[in-house]
Amino acid sequence: MTIRDQLSKELEQIPDSLVEEILDFCIFLKQRQQAKTKDVKILEGNSVLISEDEWRGIQETIYLLSIPKMRESIVEGLSTSVHDCRETLEW
C-alpha cells in the first residue's frame, strides 16, 4: 500500500469536524512548497538568491523569535483549533 493509499484510507475515517482543518493544512503545505521552489534559487557553492518578499519574511521571523516568549506563543497559537479562536480581538 502506498503512502497516498494510506492517506486516502485515513481520510475516509476522519470525522467531518476535522475535514476542513485537514484541507486547510494540505493547501498550506502545498503553497509553502510552491513558494520555496519559486523564491529560492541556489547559485553556486554557498550562495543563495531569494526574492525580496522571502527575505522580508526571514527578517520578520528572526525579529519575532527574538521577543521573549514569542516562540511559545506562536507554537500555542498553531496548536489551537480555528474553531476555538475568537472573531474579535480583545486588546
pLDDT given at position 39: 58
The dihedral sign for the CA sequence 61, 64, 65, 71: negative
Q: What is the mean pLDDT of each run of 10 residues along the chain (91 residues)?
A: 88 85 85 70 72 90 89 86 83 74
Instruction: List residues bridging with 41 in a β-sheet.
Output: 49
Task: Name 70's Cβ contacts closer than 8 Å, sequence gap at least 6.
Answer: 64
So what's the pLDDT on residue 59?
93
